[in-house]
Structure 1
Amino acid sequence: MKLSINLLIAAMMVMSLTIFHLEAIAQEEKNDVIVKLDGSKMEGKVTSIGSSSIKFKYAGEDLEYEVNKDEINKIEFASGRTETINEPAAPSAVPTASQRPASTPEDRRNKLAVLPFQIITNDQGMMVDALRSKAQNECANSFRKNTSLISVQDPMITNSILEQNGIDGHHLATAANPQEIAVLLGVEYVVFGSTDIENKGAVTTGSAYSTEKEKEKNRKETKTTTYSGGSATTTINYDCSVSLKVFSDQGSNVYADSREAFGNDSDSYVNSLNYMVKRTPWGKKHK
């Protein structure tokens, strides 16, 4: 009986030592974890912490790395202690275009966006980018003034969404899918416009004159004085035309037209633009 008790005590001691040994091994195998601001993790051993960097060895390796503190969110030590190095940036209150959920047909209903205009010109002195933006804004304003039952998206919002999604406004007319653009912008209709501005050359108008006056001096000599003067104006004449195409978020073309402009100015296309907008499906002159 006494032998059985001794054997039981010995077995319990061996078991206790085994459990202690396993816990010690588990404790030894636990790693420090560096959690970076981008969410990635590095597991191993933190060997030192400096003012601007942390030295670290991956588990099972001898090579020591240096990690910039600016990249680190926190360190989870094997002991269980956590040290925060940098708080992660708070999420933006306004999600970027790529973060926005895809718009629904109901969201897009009765909304319209005017895309940056395409400018075609033979005048090398023209500021094409400025004209593209000007024509886009002229068109958006025309839709606001001359239509009803439609909401016009501000061109600044339109251009911002296009830029955030890496879409080049210069090539929308040739490379864009109208249906995809409408869904991206969150509108039911998108307007593609182009303006052709042709420099026809300069014309000078005005008059000049000259007179001569003879003056007798001391009765012996005559002096002749010549006067000249006049005014002249040089004007550059332009031929302009403008085209509009309106597509729905289903990809169908709901309106298309082009007009020659009246007048010789580079912005004479505006009147023709207003004429066409009034005749779109929401325009005051639509039949």
Structure 2
Amino acid sequence: MNFTKVVTVVLMLFVSVFTFAQGGKKLDKIIKRDYQIIECTIAKISDKEVEYSLPGETLLISLDVAQIAKIDFASGRSQTFDVSANASTSNAVALDNSGPISVAAMKPNTIAVLPVPYVNSGSMESSEEMAKFAQSDLYNKLLDKSANLFPLTVQDLRVTNSLLHKAGIDYKNVDETPIEDLQKILGVDNIIAAKVSYTISEGSTASTYNSGNAKVSDNNKKVKTSDISTTSASTQTYYNYMVYFDMYKNGTKIYSQSRKPFLNIKDSWIDSISYLLKRSPIYVKR
């Protein structure tokens, strides 16, 4: 009997030590959109904010739900926060790891074309003029083939660029912006993100032109000529392109291809854009 009591006491001590080692009470976890994790005790949740206290404290702290991605409760239950669903107007604001972004009203089955970075991979210089030209070219190709994109509609290019400008995004940093944020900013569920990378090389060619009369001797053994030779040289510029073409739907990449144009001429990248678009999953032959 005494032995049983001893075992019971030992077990209770073991549980106490284990609980202490685990930090006592199990805590809730707030996972923010900037990936920060807050271990705390949730006191209250409303449509606009969450109130919580830190371990060992009674002071309540408020946190805007727009900053929260998910809460894992101590009970094992989880709650995910969808900022776009909570947005009541087209100008609702969410927060990500880089600061506030405007959230446009979502337009289902709409595709937007991002500015197309046009980068010299040798010097890493980019061209704003070519980035806009490439974006316009791709946009016009989508409009021309709108019947093949049904049920998708193409968002007006002015609307796309205006929303990006308000969010501080252009051809220089569009590659650095998460696609999920771009979809919220533009209010579309489909996005095309292309990029043109190139290097320029030069080659010289020489050609010789001969003109004159040949004189043959009577014994047919010696040949006398009075030829005139003209040699000309020319320099040829070669454009070595690589076109990258990505397509997203609801934040997921559904198509990703790259292509090197067959020809090395100045505008050969345009042919690659057309080739990749026609083989994308949104293009349906009719």
How far off its partner does 1:235 sit?
1.9
Partners of 1:283 and 1:196 lie apart in 2 by: 24
Partner residue, 2:266: 266
What does 1:135-284 align with in structure 2 at a 5 Å threshold? 135-146=134-145, 147-149=148-150, 150-173=152-175, 175-207=176-208, 232-248=233-249, 250-284=250-284
Which residues of structure 1 form unaligned runs of 5+?
Answer: 1-96, 212-226
Alignment of 1:37-186 (within 5 A): 102-105=103-106, 108-122=107-121, 128-146=127-145, 147-149=148-150, 150-173=152-175, 175-186=176-187
Q: Secondary structure at the match of 1:280?
A: coil
Letter in 1 for 2:162: S
Assess if the C-alpha contact under 8 Å between 1:197 and 1:266 holds in 2: no
The alpha-carbon distance between structure 1 residues 206 and 130, as it changes in their structure 2 partners (threshold 3 A), is: farther
Q: Closer, same or farther in 2 for the Cα pair 1:233/1:164, shift >3 Å?
A: same
Partners of 1:122 and 1:199 within 8 A in 2: no
Partner SS state of residue 110, structure 1? strand
Name the CA distance, whole Å, in 1 between partners of 2:157 and 2:261.
Answer: 24
Note the C-alpha offset of 1:194: 0.8
Identity %: 25
Kindly provide the amino acid, as one letter, of the partner of residue 263 in structure 1: L
CA shift digits 1:241-281 (9 cap, x unpaired)? 10111112x31112111111111112201111111111222
Q: CA deviation at 1:284?
A: 3.6
**Relative to structure 1, is the Cα distance of residues 228 and 141 closer, same or farther in structure 2, using a 3 angstrom cutoff?**
same
Are the equivalent residues in 2 in contact too, given 1:262–1:269 (CA < 8 A)? no
Q: CA deviation at 1:234?
A: 2.5
Residues 240 and 266, structure 1, Cα contact 8 Å, conserved in 2: no
- What is the distance in 1 between the residues matched to 2:238 and 2:245? 24
| 1:123/1:232 CA distance change after superposition, 3 Å | farther
Deviations 1:26-61 (A, max 9, x none): xxxxxxxxxxxxxxxxxxxxxxxxxxxxxxxxxxxx
Moved more, 239-248 or 127-136: 127-136
- Superimposed CA distance per residue, residues 139-177 of structure 1 (whole angstroms, 9 cap, x where no aligned partner): 11222233321222233321221111222331211x211
d(CA) in 2 for partners of 1:234 and 1:122? Answer: 22
**Contact map agreement 2:246 2:257 (CA 8 A) in 1:** yes
- Normalised by the length of structure 2, the TM-score is 0.52
TM-score normalised over the length of structure 1: 0.51
Amino acid corresponding to residue 202 of structure 1 in structure 2: G
In 1, the alpha carbon distance for the partners of 2:271 and 2:172 equals 24
SS in 1 for 2:188: coil
Query: Hey, what's the Cα distance between the residues in 2 that align with 1:127 and 1:172?
Result: 13
Amino acid corresponding to residue 176 of structure 1 in structure 2: T
Question: How far apart are the structure 1 equivalents of 2:204 and 2:122?
Answer: 16
Code of the aligned partner of 2:254: V
**Does the C-alpha gap of structure 1 residues 188 and 233 become closer, same or farther in structure 2, counting only changes over 3 Å?**
same
CA distance, structure 1, for counterparts of residue 121 and residue 280 of structure 2 = 30
1:190 offset after TM fit, Å? 1.3
Question: Judging changes above 3 Å, is the alpha-carbon distance between structure 1 residues 256 and 122 closer, same or farther for their aligned structure 2 residues?
Answer: closer
Instruction: Please list every run of 5 or more consecutive structure 2 residues that lacks an aligned counterpart in the other structure.
Output: 1-89, 94-101, 213-227
The alignment partner of 2:272 has SS state of: helix
